[in-house]
Structure 1
Amino acid sequence: MLLPGSVTDKFRGTFPQLVAAVSGTLSCVSDGMQYGWTAPVIPKLLSVDSPIVVTKDQAEWLETILMLGACCGLPLTMFLVDKIGRKGSLLASASTTLVAWIIIALAPSVEYIYFARFIAGMAGDTAFVAAPMYIAEMADQKIRGFLSSIIYLMMLTGVLLIYCVAPFVPIYVPCIIGVCLNTITLVSFPFMPDSPYYLLYKNRPEEAKKSLERLRPCGDVDAEIKDIAAAVERQKEEKGRPQDLVLVKSNRRALIIMVWLNGSQHMSSISVMLMNMHSILEEAGAVHISSSTAAIIFSAIMFCAAMSASLAIDNFGRRVLLVTSGILAGTSLGVVAVYFTLKNNGVDVLHVSWVPAMAVMCYAAAFKFGIGLVPIVLTAELFPAKVKAMGMTISDACYVGFSVISLQIYHQLKNRFGIQVPFYIFAVWCFCTVAFTIAFIPETKGKTLEEIQFILKGEDKGVKGTAQSNSEAYKNEGFEP
């Protein structure tokens, strides 16, 4: 089927950007494999014929150590993306993950896997900060949302790949796949153009122009490079201290948005679903489905939903996807909560035992259509250059922190009051995200990064870097030009 003319026009002349985005995010497939690795591999490690002796307590730490690595990698990530750049950080991340896969494949004991998972968590954190920054700064605004969403598509591909492969092959086989993916990145990505924003920020205008010429073979490079230079110069004048994330109005608004959205990803129960799906379906009394099959179906549905959203995000906008996703995900979780309420109060629900399984799969589609995809797009759009590394790193820290909080809410409330209680909370959070989106989140579709900054300042108008507009902006934020 042919693409509509409008879609074809949107992608015309953007092939170099697409190649750069795919090359730079290919290692995110490997990061997705690391994220989903424990689900199919831990049962093998706990089996009698495991190649490595692993206890149940040690196996639980294999899940946690990845997130601990991500937490510990936050300061390093903030340093790297500014010091060696977005492109350099992605190459460093791919190199580290490649080493992690080699260690896992050759590990003689579980301690080696601990170390490998820890550095893989650090590398994954760097990749998921640097990749959105790189794409947002090099992409044309008409496809920026689509290209930014490739990051999550790559990660979901990795999760689906590990679920489909790992249960049926020796433990070292996924490691070989991970090594190959990162090797391709290390071979191809050095030849891709660097971020024009970053190059101008580092006072390398000639390199920035050459980079933009490669990315925009058919565009007006001279005009755009002037716009970018004006934006970078204005943002350089603004302070970049950590406290300015709170003190400056536009930064504060961006930070609040990203903290809420990153929290919403987990407080809408995605970690709970991924890590407890089998036990949830068993408690529901649903038709039996193996954990590996359920995981494959769940991740496949999320991938399809994310693919659809990535194609729609630059046509319908970020807000529409967030609102639609929040309503549908909240409704799906509400159905699960009501089902368990009836079941735990003695109501015969055997004839509708298929409902929770269907609701969980509907949730998978709804979640990845908006709440699970849009934050990665917005996170690199909302923060100005001066505080982008700090803002995105704090956002990433909130993402990690809320994953732990959501799991604790689920287990503690389930054990004390019943499984329906946490699902009511998760459903309500989804609807609160809808209200928050409508009231607080600006639409960034089709806007330049500079225009987005002025919208966040309360000046909803296109700005092209004129001296008068810049002067007014500085005064509004408490600065003098």
Structure 2
Amino acid sequence: MNMHVWLVTIAGNILALTGDTTLTWSSPMITKLQSNDTNVNPLGQPITDDEISWIGSMQYIGAMVGIFPFGYLADKIGRKPTLLILAVPHLASFLIFAFAHDINLFYFGRFLGGVSLSSVYIVLPMYIAEICEDSYRGMLLVSYSTFASFGDLLPYILGPYISVKLFNVILATLPLIFLVVFGFKAPESPYYYVKNDDSYKAEKSLKTLGLNNKIAIHSIENEIESNRTKNVFNTLKTKNVIKGFIIALSLSSLQQLSGISAVLSYTEIIFRSGGSNFSAEESAIIVGVVLFLASFCGPLLVDRKGRKFLLICSASGMVVSQAILGVYFYLKDKKYTLDSVSWLPIICLVVFTITFNIGFGPLPFTITSEILPSNVKFFLATITGFSGWLVSFLVTKFFNDLNNYLGQGETFWLFCGFNALALLFVVKFVPETKGLSFQEIQRILSK
């Protein structure tokens, strides 16, 4: 494998790291914004429960809005410039958080972070899938989960212990690093050049990536030409596209119905209500560290064990962990004494985050980038991404309402039920794509 491909992938994944800090950013920041201490809380007064729910979920509204123009831009101006543009809203959001003294500015910053967050998950996997050989494509695609998981961890380990201003200034350096490294080192996708009939630039890009120019261009041309002969509307009616779209849409929605967005956004709040012997901050760090360490498993296993196997293991682990967690909170709500098992919420969320991160965390994006034809890929991936972020918003915005209405145990059982549904769906409908070319995958879906 050409080392330049690794360097470009790592540089691109810095943007994934930046994006995922927005998911857990609210966990330590909400605690600070609830404080009566004006030295801690830049707003000067504690935020309300309703403001907490908006802080926790506003980025998903931005995600739903941002996914449409940037998905379109990736096809029109190229993958690389689109990814560079996506760093700007992240940079702006962290600078707003660092200096804001008004709750509305925090809402706006969360919205901006979401605008970039959603599109990165669409454009970056597409870009990486297009610069890799089939033999190691899965490993590089899933590698972004390691960076994203470190992004999840950063707010847990930094946020509780430094000021709001310093914390967000530190986070603002991440998109700056991405802009410099990716801007100078990353070539444009050869798929983009071939699609726009620029074979000279395609060959130059492939040479930079260390790929066999003639074989690679021939393969790309065949894949693009097989779809170019059909207009988009006719392509959308074909069996392979319908099946691929249903699989991508279902995986995207089921990923968020697992409850991951609520767990990441309200980690400290969940542990505070669980009565653990560890502090909420310490418990959140434990979960974040495990999430990060577990992310190394995906790249190592995805091209050995396959996508489907990892998804089955992932869904099974989430079902078991959330079923037990639901029992714990149900008994706690019924006033049972659970001091002897106060460690159980940590163990359950550790198992949940490990199993999520080896399968349903990275693989829906990976599989989406593999099973959709090039001429409708961004259009359909945008729709699947929008549905996923819509579910994220609903889960995060109404998580506390579900706890109040159903009970905290029952809420986790609800997520458990969705994960059981995800398990059945994967077993029945999701094909294995390990080591297959894009054309081979389309032939499987056509059957």
Question: Under a length normalisation based on structure 2, what TM-score does the superposition of the two structures give?
Answer: 0.91
Corresponding residue for 1:434? 423
CA RMSD of aligned residues (A): 2.3
Secondary structure of the residue that 2:376 maps to in structure 1?
helix
- Provide the C-alpha distance between the structure 1 equivalents of 2:357 and 2:401, rounded to a whole number of angstroms: 26
Closer, same or farther in 2 for the Cα pair 1:82/1:314, shift >3 Å? Answer: same
Distance 1:91 1:274 in 2: 26
Looking at structure 2, the residues matched to 184 and 226 of structure 1 have their Cα atoms a distance apart, in angstroms, of 35
How far does residue 272 in structure 1 lie from its aligned partner after superposition? 2.9
- The residue that corresponds to 1:396 in the other structure is 385
- Please give the alpha-carbon distance, in whole angstroms, between the structure 1 residues aligned to 2:424 and 2:393: 24
Q: Comparing 187-196 with 176-185, which one deviates more in the overlay?
A: 176-185
1:212-248 deviation digits (Å, cap 9, x = unpaired) = 11112xx43211211111111112223224x954x33
Asked if 1:220 corresponds to 2:212, the answer is: yes
How many percent of aligned residue pairs carry the same amino acid? 29
1:306 aligned to which of 291, 295, 298:
295
Change (3 A) 1:408 1:161: closer
Spell out, residue by residue over 1:316-351, the C-alpha distance to the aligned partner (whole angstroms, 9 max, x if none): 110010011111221111222334455556766543
Greater mean deviation of Cα atoms: 25-34 or 82-91 = 25-34
Taking a change above 3 Å as real, the CA distance of residues 291 and 346 of structure 1, as seen in their structure-2 partners, is closer
Tell me the distance in 1 between the aligned counterparts of 2:433 and 2:214: 24
* 5+ residue gaps, structure 1: 1-12, 459-481
Q: Which residue of 2 aligns with 1:10?
A: none
Pairwise mapping of residues 75-90 of structure 1 onto structure 2 (< 5 A)? 75-90=68-83
Q: Distance in 2 between matches of 1:180 and 1:206?
A: 36
Q: Which moved more, 1:38-47 or 1:407-416?
A: 407-416
C-alpha distance in 2 between matches for 1:415 and 1:98: 36
- Provide the C-alpha distance between the structure 2 equivalents of 1:282 and 1:52, rounded to a whole number of angstroms: 23
- Aligned to 2:170, the other structure's residue is in SS state helix
* 2:254 aligned residue (264, 287, 303): 264
Shift of 1:151: 2.4
1:329 to 318, 321, 331: 318
1:196 pairs with 2:186: no
User: Which of 229-238 and 345-354 deviates more?
Assistant: 345-354
CA distance in 2, matches of 1:25, 1:396: 18
2:354 paired with 1:360 = no
Tell me, yes or no, if structure 1 residue 44 matches structure 2 residue 32. Answer: yes
* Cα drift, residue 105 of structure 1: 2.6
How far apart, CA to CA, are the structure 2 residues paired with 1:127 and 1:299?
A: 21
Structure 1 position 434, deviation (Å): 2.0
Query: Is 151-160 or 84-93 further displaced after alignment?
Result: 151-160
Q: What are the ranges of 5 or more consecutive residues in structure 2 without an aligned counterpart?
A: none
Is the CA contact 1:257–1:441 (under 8 Å) kept in the aligned structure 2?
Answer: yes
Rounded to whole Å, the distance in 1 between the matches of 2:391 and 2:42 is 34
Alpha-carbon offset, residue 280 of structure 1: 4.1
| 2:226 is the alignment partner of 1:238 | no
Would you say how many aligned residue pairs link Structure 1 and Structure 2? 441
Q: What amino acid does structure 2 have at the position aligned with 1:235?
A: N
Aligned to 1:22: 10
Change over 3 Å in CA distance of 1:421–1:328 after alignment to 2: same
Q: Is the 8 A contact 1:77 1:125 kept in 2?
A: no
Please say if residues 196 and 211 of structure 1, whose CA atoms lie closer than 8 Å, have aligned partners that are also in contact: yes
CA 53–248 in structure 1, closer or farther in 2 if over 3 Å, else same: farther
Q: CA deviation at 1:281?
A: 4.1
The 2-side partners of 1:154 and 1:207 are apart by: 30
Contact 1:143 1:314 in 2 (8 A): yes
Answering whether residue 32 of structure 2 is matched by residue 32 of structure 1, we say no
Q: Is the 8 A contact 1:69 1:117 kept in 2?
A: yes
**Secondary structure in structure 2 of the residue aligned to 1:72:** helix
User: How far off is 1:407 after superposition?
Assistant: 4.3
292-301 or 411-420, which deviates more: 411-420
Deviations 1:34-73 (A, max 9, x none): 2222221233234322333455144543333211111111
1:377 is matched with 366
Alignment partners' CA distance in 2, 1:417 and 1:121: 29
Report the alpha carbon displacement of residue 442 of structure 1 after superposing the two structures with TM.
0.9
Preserved CA contact (<8 Å) 2:67 2:386: yes
Alignment pair present for 1:121 and 2:114: yes
C-alpha displacement of 1:398? 1.5
Partner of 1:252: 242
The Cα offsets for residues 159-200 of structure 1, whole Å up to 9 and x where unpaired, read as: 211221122222222333233222222222123111111111
Contact 1:77 1:393 in 2 (8 A): no
Deviations 1:287-339 (A, max 9, x none): 32222212111121111112111211111110010011111221111222334
Distance 1:104 1:337 in 2: 35
More moved, 69-78 vs 350-359? 350-359
Structure 2 counterpart of 1:455:
444
- Report 1:76-155 matches (<5 A): 76-155=69-148
Please tell me whether the aligned partners of residues 62 and 110 of structure 2 are also in contact (alpha carbons under 8 angstroms).
Answer: yes
Q: In structure 2, what is the Cα distance between the partners aligned to 1:279 and 1:108? A: 23
1:156 match: 149
Decide whether aligned partners of structure 1 residues 361 and 343 sit closer, same or farther in structure 2, where only a CA change above 3 A counts: same
Residue 126 of structure 1 and its aligned partner are, at CA, apart by 2.0
Question: Does 2:200 correspond to 1:206?
Answer: yes
Greater shift in the superposed pair: 286-295 or 195-204: 286-295
Over 3 Å counting, the alpha-carbon distance change for 1:40 and 1:338 in structure 2 is: closer
* SS of match in other structure, 1:316: coil
1:229 alignment partner AA: E
TM-score, length basis structure 1: 0.85
Contact 2:33–2:47 (Cα < 8 Å) also in 1: no
